[in-house]
Structure 1
């Protein structure tokens, strides 16, 4: 009988411990969030992704009753930021807001620095085109003019991008390949730095967001020649696409979205998804996205996952066709 009594006592104790172990996380989820949250951003302060993240963070903070801070983690075309978030506790307190680099890294790098399965996609915030801009002093008005100008000066001109293996780098090499241009790629740590050198005349061209370049266009210092993507953006209807100017391979578009680490509890994922979508629907966040040349989307869950799989496939095809590698 003592053995049976001890066994019953052990079973009872185990049940109590199990209840305590499982009750704590559930209770924590019910009170989520109980402290400040963080959005990791692989961009410099003041850049497109950073500004969108900060505006979204303000809305989420007001709605959730907890501060949402921005953590700028630069390096390796977003890989540093992805790994930082993927390796953080899966409790919902650390999010990632990243752009197209997230899928491009998987398409361009043979080492596969991470996998899509390491993160849970919450919300696809918006999609956008990337523009090619030149200093007005260059004296060209169209993409055709620019191509002819560069061809006449083989090896003498440079274009800027916001990093090796970035969207801008890929587009730049694609154009050099299909248009048979001999132009040097100069990578920068952000689109603003490259823009400054274009405005000063040190670069013949650069790639970036229409919203960032627009003030300089209005000031007469910059000329936007074309935008990537399948069709013109409503807010920049005067900017022609590469596709309509004879470059169909530039139908690729950029995007940005929010993620959390794999293993984050479903209830927390649902709460954050709802909060991000709520923030996205606010006039302030929408205005920032539209101003930077994005079309707000709001796709979530499985549909967002399917979008990411398709995007990796598209960039992989583009990289192979143009022999672009990041390593």
Structure 2
């Protein structure tokens, strides 16, 4: 008579899951590491070490917004770890937000002046200070124009197009040759219904040289709003000739979506995902574009 073998239950504790995640991370098994790390955090949400490691892993995968959310949640807690500010700075750099990264580094220095990351924070802050000084407009007049343009963009985001128009007009009085600013001015004119002026300024912005992907994207949207389809498609062709990359490519994908060119938006997102395959925002954008373009639900479900 045979006996049933004894079944030994094996409880996958949070510590075990975290340990396995770190092993997979070192071996570049990123997907497995992410899944294990998430399970560890789900089972032990109070463990800050696990959450910090998850945020760092997401940063390494290019998922900057998700990483930032974890770090901000940690900072919202009592006595949140100061290293979160350093993590925020790295994510902000990954999203091309140099000024935001500088602010985060300064917050770390203020919060933990003798912290273990102080040397690295000081080195990175010095590099960013040098970068900003090298990229600051040489002309004081242009510098003022840039600052006013920032306020105009903020007004547009807050749905105050009349204010944006006034600020862009001041900007262009100081720097009439800045065609990216002129393209945004054209958009603000569109928003207040000044169709003729919007078209005239978009035409001027589109002639800027060397070509600016940002300006061309905005011009394409302006022409689309105005019903100037031929000009809008000309802008799209010119943007494709520039082979936009990273931030500019995301703006191009957004522009394609706004113009209803969903198949092209999905294909552009596909190319971007070859560089950052775990970027949830891009995955989401591609799924939406595919759905709008009429893709099969099963194909969309994969994203």
Same fold flag (TM > 0.5): no
TM bin (shorter chain): under 0.3
More helix by share: 2
More strand by share: 1
Q: Which structure has the higher relative contact order (CA within 8 Å, separation 6+)?
A: 1
Instruction: Provide the TM-score with structure 2 as the length reference.
Output: 0.24
